[in-house]
Amino acid sequence: MDFFVSVSGYEGQPTTIVGGLDEETNILVIAGRMKTFQTARIKGREDISVVSNLGLPDVDFQFRDEHMREAIIAYQNRTLLNTITLDPALKQLDPRSVFEKDDIKEGKQTYRILPTISNGQLAVLIACGFCELQARIMSAQVSLDEMNDLYDAGGESDLYDAYTI
């Protein structure tokens, strides 16, 4: 799954990064930064998801402030599991230095975003959050497909055998 993330409203120039998620390995690759700020779907490349913190007309996922916690956790998990790769030319977009743990509210860790966060650093966090959401959707689809296969097989499938005693 390929995507681009366009972010504006934070430090520095508006930024569009390009990335992809390998659905089999769950590896997220941030491959580059576009030379121009992308605000619309790319003609001829309708298969690329459009992600942004702006209310763009072609957006597939609009990042909002309430998504920040999940994006940070997704970034931290990908870093720990080594399932994120940033092109070496984009090292300055690594967001690890622009957030810190803040407090625990309602049993959940909260984070403080430093005012120095750049559009590019936020774009990387958004990419992580978006890919986590997509991974959940793909996992649910696989489960539905397996249940459908079980139903179609009338109980005679490998999935059914795994759950029988």
Q: H/E/C letters for each residue in the chain?
A: CEEEEEECCCECCCEEEEEEEECCCCEEEEEEECCCCCCCCCCCCCCCEEEECCCCCCCCEECCHHHHHHHHHHHHHHHHHCCEEECHHHHHHCHHHCEEEEEEECCEEEEEECCCCEHHHHHHHHHHHHHHHHHHHHHHHHHHHHHHHHHHCCCCCHHHHHCCC
pLDDT tens digits along 130-162: 999 887 776 666 566 566 666 676 655 555 555
Residue 155 is predicted with a pLDDT of 55
To the nearest whole percent, how much of the chain has pLDDT over 70? Answer: 84
pLDDT above 80 (res 124): yes
Q: What is the mean pLDDT of residues 31-60?
A: 88
Model-level pTM?
0.82
Whether pLDDT at 57 is above 60: yes
Structural domain including 20 reads 2-162
* 14 touches 37 (CB < 8 A): yes
Residue 36 has pLDDT above 70, yes or no: yes
Kindly tell me if the per-residue pLDDT of 113 is higher than 90: yes
Q: How does the average pLDDT of the chain come out, rounded?
A: 87
Q: Return the CATH number at 40.
A: 3.30.420
**pLDDT band for position 58 (cuts 50, 70, 90):** confident
> How many domains does the structure of the chain reveal?
1
